[in-house]
Chains A and B, each alone.
Chain A
Amino acid sequence: MTQDDAAAQDAEALAATIWTQVDRALSGVSARPEPSVRDLIVHIPPDELVRGLRALKHDAALAFDYLRCLTCVDNEDDGMDVVYHLYSIAGRYNLTVKTQLPPDNLAVDSATGVWRAADWYEREAQEMFGVRFRGHPDPRNLLMPEEITDSFPLRKDHPLAEIEVLQGEGVAYSEEPA
Chain B
Amino acid sequence: MNNDLFGFEINVWADAAARLGLIVGLMTVVVMGLIYGERKIIARFQQRLGPTRTGPAGLLQSVADALKLVAKEDVRPRSADPWVFELAPYFVFVPIFLMFVAIPFALRWEIRVLELGLFYVLAVSSVNIVGWVMAGWGSDNRYAMLGALRAAAQAISYELPLVMSLISVGIVADSFNLTEIVRSQGQVPNIVWQPLPFFLFFVAILAELNRTPFDIPVGESEVVGGPFVEYSGIRWSMFFLAEYAALFILALLGAAVFLGGWAWPLGEEWGLGWQLVLTALKAGALIFAVFWVRVTMPRLRIDQLMAFSWKVLLPISFVQVLANGLVLVYEPPQHIANILLAAVSGAGLLLVVWIMNHSVGKPRPRPVLSPRAATAPTATRSEAAR
Contacts and interface: CB of A to CB of B under 8 A. Distances in A.
Instruction: Specify whether A and B are partners.
Output: yes
B363 interface: no
B47 interface: no
A17 B377 contact: no
B135 to A, nearest CB: 35
Contacts of A38: 386
A93 to B, nearest CB: 5
20 contacts: A16-B383, A16-B384, A16-B386, A17-B384, A17-B386, A18-B384, A18-B385, A38-B386, A39-B385, A39-B386, A91-B381, A92-B377, A92-B381, A92-B382, A92-B385, A93-B381, A93-B384, A93-B385, A94-B385, A94-B386
Interface string B347-386: 0000000000000000000000000000001000111111
Given A16-B383, A92-B377, A94-B385, 16 more contacts: A16-B384, A16-B386, A17-B384, A17-B386, A18-B384, A18-B385, A38-B386, A39-B385, A39-B386, A91-B381, A92-B381, A92-B382, A92-B385, A93-B384, A93-B385, A94-B386
A169 B380 CA distance: 60
Contacts of B377: 92
Interface residues of A, number: 9
B227 to A, nearest CB: 34
Nearest to B382: A92
A23 B95 CA distance: 80
A39 B385 CA distance: 7
A39 B386 CA distance: 5
Interface residues of B, number: 7
Interface of B: 377, 381-386
B370 to A, nearest CB: 14
Contacts of B383: 16
Nearest to B377: A92
A166 B384 CA distance: 51
Contacts of B386: 16-17, 38-39, 94
Interface string A58-99: 000000000000000000000000000000000111100000
A5 to B, nearest CB: 22
Interface in A88-138: 91-94
A38 B386 CA distance: 5
Nearest to B381: A92
A39 B383 CA distance: 11
A39 B382 CA distance: 11
Nearest to A18: B384
Most chain A CB atoms below 10 A, which of B381, B382, B385 = B385
B40 to A, nearest CB: 46
A156 to B, nearest CB: 31
A140 to B, nearest CB: 24
A18 B377 CA distance: 16
A14 to B, nearest CB: 12
A123 to B, nearest CB: 28
A151 B221 CA distance: 37
Contacts of A17: 384, 386
A80 B128 CA distance: 66
Interface string A15-48: 0111000000000000000000011000000000
B262 to A, nearest CB: 66
Contacts of B382: 92
A46 B104 CA distance: 84
Nearest to B386: A38
Contacts of B384: 16-18, 93
A18 B386 CA distance: 8
A92 B380 CA distance: 11
Contacts of B385: 18, 39, 92-94
A16 B384 CA distance: 6
A93 B377 CA distance: 11
Contacts of A93: 381, 384-385
Contacts of A39: 385-386
Which 3 residue pairs are nearest across A and B when measured between Cβ atoms? A93-B385, A94-B385, A92-B381
